[in-house]
A and B are shown apart, each in its own frame.
Chain A
Amino acid sequence: MGFFIETVIGGLMSGMLYALVALGFVLIFKASGVFNFAQGAMVLVAALAMARFSEWIPGWLGVDSKLLGNVLAFIVCAVFMWLIAVLIERYALRYLVNQEGTTLLMATIGISYFLDGIGQTLFGSSVYSIDVGMPKDPAFLFDSVFEGGVLVSLEDLTAAAVAAVLVAVLAFFFQYTSVGRALRAVADDHQAAQSIGIPLNRIWVVVWTVAGLVALVAGIVWGSKYGVQFTLSTAALRALPVVILGGLTSVPGAIIGGLIIGVGEKLSEVYLGPYVGGGIEIWFAYVLALVFLLFRPQGLFGEKIIDRV
């Protein structure tokens, strides 16, 4: 029983990471109708930037405190992600307005290649670590409930808390700020939003920046857990089935889809894996999403925007 719960909790934690990446997808899709294949690359670039800047900045400025160094690095990275958002909007998206969804998808595949390349050219391509001082010690919970308790890493708990805070902040941003309201208007109807004077281009920059910041947080959490390296970009692709499962247009869907996929992956790996040779984590999420698509194409919480064939 303890082992089962541990597996589930482990799944929930990795699901949290998927959910963080998936959040970026959903934000961009909602606001601009772009299915952003590059979200994984953005996570990679953000994580690389954070790893390297937190290493360089204390040296440049002579800052001793680790906390201050990390905060400064975070700010620099946030500016960096904003810069990327501006460049993407200025040089790619602006010319592709009103193109078909698949054209935009292919453009983001191109952007993803570009980001992979430039990130590793600028920041190097070895394995780096991010140390933002997340607690590493394991803890035992439910000692009293059953024997041995449940082993939980505090790092995972912190990550979950970070994700929860992020979602709360995003919800606040969308509901109660004027920019958030403009974003929702654009998501609802591009033309109507434009006709009441909401500048689409600026909104897209904002959305890509927000998605970049979400990627940054995801990258930091992921990077401090597993280290920063190139495979991060592919691992983040596993957030694609998450958004399919949760629905392309739903923020809660991204979170819940992420958790379902995380738990499903871990459980299937532990209980089914031994029978088929292991490693089924690689495709489990995709096949789950594929089966799901056949029966409920709009996902768990998505709007029915998909047109049936």
Chain B
Amino acid sequence: MYYRENGQFKSSYRADQQVFPIRQDRAFILGLVAVAVFVVPFAASNYFLQAILIPFLILSLAAIGLNILVGYCGQISIGSGAFMAVGAYAAWNFGARIPEMPLLFQILLGGVFATLVGVAFGIPSLRIRGLYLAVTTLAAQFFVDWAFLRIPYFTNYSSSGNVSVPPLEFFGMPVQTPAQRYVFVLGFVVVFAMLAKNLVRGAIGRQWMAIRDMDVAAAVIGIRPVYAKLTAFAVSSFIIGVAGALWAYIHLGSWEPLAFDLNRSLQLLFIVIIGGLGSIVGSFFGAAFMVLLPVLLTNIPHMLGLSLAVDTASHIEHMVFGALIVFFLIVEPHGLARLWSIGKEKMRIWPFPH
């Protein structure tokens, strides 16, 4: 009844091509961002901010990056954890070696280095695809894990191998309390989500999708596969690298290479599948799911009065995730994002379906 586009006439191409052409959508998103910026930091408890909202936002950002590669360009990657690690360590190295460099530049430079590594490991995609590409990205994962573990230069010769960040500040403003960290991350996520949304709507995004759907046909109509694939790798690794730097700086604070191992890569892949391949909003749904499910799984037995050992709980978590992946691939290959758009379609005609 309230969610419909009746009476919203577009009189220019500009108006017709907005990101959110329906007024209610615009209002909803603006309201959501306003609540997230002005209400949540003051209303939410520190636990909620630190354990749920910050990981959720950073994982969403990483998932957006991976979604560009897997969902939009169709190049499967099991090595996104490696690109996160590159972003994190590059940012940290700039911070440690050039202490006067502003935080924002450290994080963005982390993204730039992740881009370089991502493009380097994306080069095989010009000759191979599908399953074979998965194995080469796995090579990136293991190689990067090893490099940060064994090459002491990257950790600035720290004896234990794990590194930690100094107190953060953003152009003079401290980024210390959970609320400040949350707002800092939120800024990145909003900017990059809009950026990604606009990229995939534009010419380059259409090229990626053409390559995904059928690369030979795309080449025939004049899309350069080399350019399209490498830009997908570059944009995707940049976003994942920035997310990695944020994960390390804001969420972890001090970390070792294990924080970005194969499990992180698979986790991101699961977020993208559950959320919806080829959907920016799906990345948020998937990340929310991934962050909330473990919380639920540890709390539900507690509420029912059962005591579950920690390791059993983590094994059950494994089982639930595994089963859900298969379930989603069978029942709803387009993930939660598809359910969301079905819901919106239903809303449009509700309550008079005829």
A and B part of one assembly: yes
Q: A294-B124, A297-B132 are in contact. Are A283 and B143 (CB under 8 A)?
A: yes
CB-defined interface of A76-94 with B at 8 Å, one 1/0 digit per residue?
0000000000000001100
Q: Are B318 and A308 in contact (CB under 8 A)?
A: no
CA distance A105 to B132 in the complex (A): 11
Greatest chain A CB density within 10 A among B136, B269, B333 is at B136
CB-defined interface of A83-116 with B at 8 Å, one 1/0 digit per residue?
0000000011001100111110111011111111
- Residues on A with C-beta less than 8 A from B143 are 283, 286-287
Q: Are A121 and B333 in contact (CB under 8 A)?
A: no
Q: Are A290 and B139 in contact (CB under 8 A)?
A: yes
Q: Which residues of B from 295 to 354 have beta carbons under 8 Å from A?
A: 311-312, 315-326, 329-330, 333
A307 to chain B, nearest CB (A): 8
Q: Are A289 and B127 in contact (CB under 8 A)?
A: no
A157 to chain B, nearest CB (A): 30
CA distance A103 to B185 in the complex (A): 32
Does any Cβ of B come within 8 Å of A170's Cβ?
no
Question: Which of A113, A241, A309 contacts B135, CB < 8 Å?
Answer: A241
Does any Cβ of B come within 8 Å of A68's Cβ?
no
Does any Cβ of A come within 8 Å of B96's Cβ?
no
A18 to chain B, nearest CB (A): 14
Question: Which of B128, B146, B151 contacts A283, CB < 8 Å?
Answer: B146
- Residues on A with C-beta less than 8 A from B223 are none
Chain A at the B interface: mostly helix, strand, loop or mixed?
Answer: helix
Q: Are A306 and B128 in contact (CB under 8 A)?
A: yes
Q: Are A287 and B131 in contact (CB under 8 A)?
A: no
Q: Are A293 and B127 in contact (CB under 8 A)?
A: yes
Contact-residue size bin, chain B (C-beta under 8 Å from the other chain): 35 or more
Does any Cβ of B come within 8 Å of A301's Cβ?
no
- Residues on B with C-beta less than 8 A from A112 are 322
Q: Are B326 and A92 in contact (CB under 8 A)?
A: yes
Q: A289-B135, A306-B132, A309-B128 are in contact. Are A106 and B150 (CB under 8 A)?
A: no
Q: Are A117 and B326 in contact (CB under 8 A)?
A: no
CB-defined interface of A275-309 with B at 8 Å, one 1/0 digit per residue?
01111101100110110011001000000001111
CB-defined interface of B129-160 with A at 8 Å, one 1/0 digit per residue?
11110111011001101100111100000000
Question: Which of B76, B146, B312, B315 contacts A282, CB < 8 Å?
Answer: B146
Does any Cβ of B come within 8 Å of A125's Cβ?
yes
Q: Are B273 and A106 in contact (CB under 8 A)?
A: yes
Q: Are B329 and A114 in contact (CB under 8 A)?
A: no
Q: A116-B318, A117-B316, A309-B225 are in contact. Are A282 and B139 (CB under 8 A)?
A: no
CA distance A276 to B153 in the complex (A): 12
Q: Are B319 and A121 in contact (CB under 8 A)?
A: yes
What are 26 A-B contacts with C-beta separation under 8 Å?
Answer: A35-B131, A100-B130, A102-B130, A103-B329, A103-B333, A106-B269, A107-B330, A109-B269, A110-B326, A113-B319, A115-B322, A116-B318, A117-B317, A117-B318, A117-B320, A121-B312, A240-B135, A276-B151, A277-B150, A282-B145, A289-B135, A289-B136, A293-B124, A293-B136, A306-B128, A307-B129
Cβ-closest 9 pairs across A and B: A110-B325, A114-B322, A117-B318, A113-B322, A117-B319, A286-B139, A277-B150, A283-B142, A95-B330
Interface residues of B (CB under 8 A from A): 74, 76, 124-132, 134-136, 138-139, 142-143, 145-146, 149-152, 215, 225, 262, 266, 269-270, 273, 311-312, 315-326, 329-330, 333
Q: Assuming A99-B329, A103-B333, A114-B318, what are 16 further A-B pairs, CB within 8 angstroms?
A: A35-B131, A35-B134, A95-B330, A107-B329, A109-B325, A110-B321, A111-B322, A118-B315, A276-B150, A279-B150, A283-B139, A286-B136, A286-B138, A289-B135, A289-B139, A297-B127
